[in-house]
Amino acid sequence: MDTVKSTPKMTTGLSHRPGLMIGLLVGLMLTAALVAIFYVADALVGTPFVPFDMLDWMARNLPGGVITFGIDTVVGIITSLRLGETDVAAKAAEQFISISGMLLTGIVASGVFFYVMNQRETDGHNLRPGYLLGLIIGVPVAVISLAVNFTARTDPAVSTIWIVLAFLAWGSAINWVYNRLAAAKGRSDQPEASAQAIDRRSFLVRVGGTTATITLVGVGLGALLRNSDQGSATSLAATSTTSGTEPMRTDLPNANASVQPVPGTRPEFTPVAEHYRIDISSRPPVIDEATYKLPITGMVDKPLELTLDDIRSNYEPMTQYITLACISNPLGGDLTSTQKWTGVSFQKILADLGLQDSARYLRIFSADSFDETVDIDLIMQDERIMLTYAWDDQPLPERNGFPLRIYIPNHYGMKQPKWITDIEVVGDYEDGYWVRRGWDRDAIMVATSVIDVVATDQVHEEDGTTYIPIGGIAHAGDRSISKVEVKVDDGDWMEAQLRDPLSDKTWVIWRYEWPFAEGNHTFAVRCVDGKGDPQIETSRGTRPSGATGIVTVRKQIDPLTNA
């Protein structure tokens, strides 16, 4: 009797297909590796780092209320948990969110892919569904990156092709892993085949090990390359950095002032490398000075196209010591800095344009897609408004607005574009980037005063009385400061000493000698601006016009001990 030999068949039932949770895990592993590959490619050849582009795109397109809520939440967490300098911690948080968002996208996409594949027949070799997944994710991401990226050093076409190819490889890898897992129980009617079948757990361990290696090597190599590229800039920045414990600069205009800062007060002059940075992008734009030209067009008879050298050479420079603050700076926060700004008065540039009679405003555009509107009448009334090209006698740092940024006295930083690429003279007003998102149209700086230190390590005695010095800063835009007062517990407001400021546009360093008293005390400070207007004591948040209120500090003062 003849025996009919059956042909092994691939199992098509769903009971042996990899489940949703495995799909999510595979998505996490492969997307982490993809992020690392994007990172090392960015550092090596300058292709886009996709997670940052995705976050920047969301920041430009989400409703203003959502963006503001996000900003307030991040700043609130940083301040409450004391996670370090607000601007540095905020950028780190943005970058963490961007990478987490891409990981989440990859995890969900992989989970959906596994679910869909479990509903259809498969021969175990077809990778076309994976390629389709890569295109579905990769093409929109490439388009978004093309629209918002301004840091890539590669040609946009090359960047776009690279992103699509990377996602095609990612999608096919997800498909390949699925096929191998689905085949692990294949041909189960043959014992010898079953003995050789892939064990899912060991296979996933191997996949995890491979992707972990790619991720770690990619991140490490990318960081090494990036640190190497930034080495000279970091070295230069380090030479200009001054901590609060180092000797004060002697080249400042108030170097001979009699009132000295209390040790522990923030530096009167902020080192360039420590100046706060708040902007709308994950990373600063990269602008090549050799090819940079600033077009000024619109309602003018003589349009201009200025190189940076034109601005430096053809216009008389002006220098101002300036304290700038972010409107999102919480009460007593660190999003404020003082620097020496050099540039050219905007009045001189407007004089060369031949403004038409109906010209009313400047629309200023930045490389990071930021924009703002400036009233021409305001410029004509204030020669201090300037196009700035240098800080502390050095070109603007890339992170702080190179090649050009504007300075407008008495206004928060949200009104002052950086990385300026285009100026248009127009007749009608349009809201700027942050105004469209619900912030104050004028954004005038409010008066504020801060206690930086109750210097219990600086106790001293004068005329038989023991004192503890208290120090800090006060600022009111360009209105200067006429008085600072300190109150301890329920006592009277007592006037502090004021150090001569660097200029009427910078903060004032103050100090108060408090008669020593042990115990737990509450210290408060308030100020009066140069026009005689007192600081607003009513507490309010940063949105939409800047934070107000009284800064208080609680401090336990221990009994004095004899050495």
Task: Say how far apart CA 52 and CA 73 lie, in whole Å.
Answer: 19
CB count within 10 Å of CB 243 equals: 8
Residue-level pLDDT at 127? 95
When comparing pLDDT for 80 and 527, which is higher?
Answer: 527
Structure tokens at 332: 């007593």
Provide CB contacts within 8 A for 324, sequence distance 6+.
336, 337, 338, 339, 407, 413, 416
Residue-level pLDDT at 198? 52
pLDDT higher than 60, residue 179? yes
Average pLDDT score over residue span 184-190 = 51
Residue-level pLDDT at 148? 92
The hierarchical CATH code for the domain 448-557 is 2.60.40.650
DSSP state of 330: P
Average pLDDT score over residue span 227-236 = 51
Arithmetic mean of pLDDT over the chain: 90
Average pLDDT score over residue span 426-440 = 96
Q: pLDDT tier at 239 (50, 70, 90 boundaries)?
A: very low
Q: What is the CA angle 7-13-18, rounded to 5?
A: 115
Ordered DSSP codes for 343-402: EEEHHHHHHTT-B-TT--EEEEEETTS-EEEEEHHHHHH-TT-EEEEEETTEEPPGGGTT
pTM, full prediction: 0.86
Q: By percentage, how much of the chain surpasses pLDDT 70?
A: 90
Residue-level pLDDT at 1? 44
When comparing pLDDT for 301 and 70, which is higher?
Answer: 301
pLDDT higher than 70, residue 12? no
pLDDT higher than 70, residue 32? yes
Q: pLDDT tier at 544 (50, 70, 90 boundaries)?
A: very high
Q: What is the pLDDT of residues 41-65, one digit of tens each?
A: 999 999 999 999 999 999 888 887 8
Residue-level pLDDT at 240? 40
Q: pLDDT tier at 185 (50, 70, 90 boundaries)?
A: low
Average pLDDT score over residue span 276-289 = 93
pLDDT higher than 70, residue 4? no
Q: Are 525 and 551 in contact (CB under 8 A)?
A: yes
Q: What is the pLDDT of residues 364-408, one digit of tens each?
A: 999 999 999 999 999 999 999 999 999 999 999 999 999 999 999
- Write the class of the CATH domain 272-426: alpha beta
Residue-level pLDDT at 64? 78
Average pLDDT score over residue span 455-477 = 96
Provide CB contacts within 8 A for 357, sequence distance 6+.
none
Q: Where are the domains of the chain?
A: 14-229, 272-426, 448-557
Average pLDDT score over residue span 355-365 = 98
Q: Are 478 and 295 in contact (CB under 8 A)?
A: no
Q: Are 175 and 127 in contact (CB under 8 A)?
A: yes
Helices and strands (H and E) in the chain: how many = 12, 19
pLDDT higher than 50, residue 243? no
